[in-house]
Amino acid sequence: MRFLFCTSFFIAILLTGCQSAKPKHLVPVTDDCTSLHIIAHHCTSLPTPFSFPTFEKALLKASLEIREHHLTGLVFIKKMPDAGCRIIFSNEFGMTYFDLEIGSDTFLVHYCFEPLNKKALWKIMETDLRLLFATEEASGETGKFIQKETNYLVFKNKQENLTRWDLFSSGGDTLVETRGRSNLADQVVITFTNYQQGFPSRIILLNSFVKIKLSLSLLSIN
């Protein structure tokens, strides 16, 4: 059974290996706007992209669908002293599904209940969560674009293990979407909506081919 599970993930990854996470209709821009003749109002200055305010801990309502598994409950996130995050997902009755720690160089699964305890799954989840928590610094090629249809500012960051695309509102003050694809895993799309006090109160992470959907609704943050 474990072999079948791992094999099916591997085949899914092979089949989608060429699927790009790159948003469509991008026009490259430079800081001095030399190639930005299409969208003139950005030519004076390119906005500095927004980043989430810092927080110590957050509580979110969560729903995680992984193929036939449907898990609901609460996600508790606590920033750790080394700038990483501890993430605990438990069901409504308090029993823990998983407890993990993610930092720039670390990904530790402290606890995971048995049906979810699959190496292949956690490899994919690591990519997904690294995108969500932006744990990796840009380490390679970067790029700036405008998306023609939406006027979104799009930033590309090639990181050590994945390529991420962040789509900001045209004013640069709202992160709308993050897309990414690692060398190993399928593409991931994360949407951020319903902003309250600088935080998106609704986050949806979708890895459609391997059928992972994580929905988060913010309950409290401080």
Partner 1 sequence: MHKLIFILALFSFGYSSAQHKPLDAVTIQRIKEGVSQVSKKTSTISSDFTQEKEMSILNDKIITTGKFYFKKDQLLRWEYIHPFAYIITIRGDVITILDEGTIKSFNTKSNKVFSEVNRIIIGSVNGTLLDDASFTADFNKNNSHFIVSLTPVSAVVKESLDRIAIYFNKTDYTVDKLEMYESAGDFTRITFTNKQINQPISDEIFILH
Tell which one of 95, 140, 149, 197 touches partner 1 (CB under 8 A): 95
CA distance 76 to 197: 19
114 binds partner 1 (CB under 8 A): yes
CA distance 202 to 197: 13
Distances (CA, A) of 182 to 29, 73, 172: 25, 28, 25
Tell which one of 53, 93, 149, 222 touches partner 1 (CB under 8 A): 93
CA distance 210 to 194: 27
Site for partner 1 in 60-89 (CB under 8 A): 61, 63, 68-72, 74, 76, 78, 86, 88
CA distance 190 to 131: 8
Decide whether 99 or 160 has the Cβ nearer to partner 1.
99
Residues in binding contact with partner 1, number by CB under 8 A: 31
217 binds partner 1 (CB under 8 A): yes
3 binds partner 1 (CB under 8 A): no
**Spatial contact of 132 and 125, defined as CB atoms under 8 Å apart:** no
Q: Which spans of this chain sit near partner 1 (rule: CB under 8 A)? A: 57, 59, 61, 63, 68-72, 74, 76, 78, 86, 88, 90-97, 99, 110-111, 113-115, 217, 219-220
